[in-house]
């Protein structure tokens, strides 16, 4: 698991410059390709611009791909606290 998380952090650095609208699509593609779900979710959670603009529709799309077992952001009140600290820590 530590190696997988380290790889996610590397990818997060590589995609830091992506437009906020591209990251949810990338996460969705990764999930559909069989990448471990938490990796895709953490890419979204650690992309500041995406977290500043993510909306309920984006969250529902991500969660509907096989269920929202990790990324339970279907309630906008869950999103607001994350904006305070920019997502999960690196």
Rounded Cα distance between 13 and 75, Å, is 28
Global pTM? Answer: 0.69
In a domain, 72, yes or no: yes
Domain interval for residue 11: 2-85
Give the model's confidence band at 84: pLDDT under 50 very low, under 70 low, under 90 confident, else very high: very low
Rounded Cα distance between 56 and 48, Å, is 17
Q: Give tens-digit pLDDT for 47-65.
A: 999 988 887 777 777 776 5
Rounded Cα distance between 69 and 90, Å, is 21
Indicate the number of domains in the chain. Answer: 1
In a domain, 90, yes or no: no
In a domain, 67, yes or no: yes
5-9, 26-30, 37-41: the lowest-pLDDT one: 37-41
């Amino acid at each position: 698991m530590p190696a997988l998380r380290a790889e996610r952090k590397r990818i997060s650095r590589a995609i830091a410059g992506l437009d906020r609208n591209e990251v949810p699509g990338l996460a969705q593609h990764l999930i559909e390709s069989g990448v471990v779900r938490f990796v895709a979710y953490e890419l979204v959670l650690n992309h500041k611009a995406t977290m500043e603009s993510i909306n309920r529709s984006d969250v529902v799309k991500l969660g509907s791909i096989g269920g929202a077992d990790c990324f339970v952001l279907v309630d906008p009140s869950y999103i607001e606290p994350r904006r305070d600290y920019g997502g999960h820590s690196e």
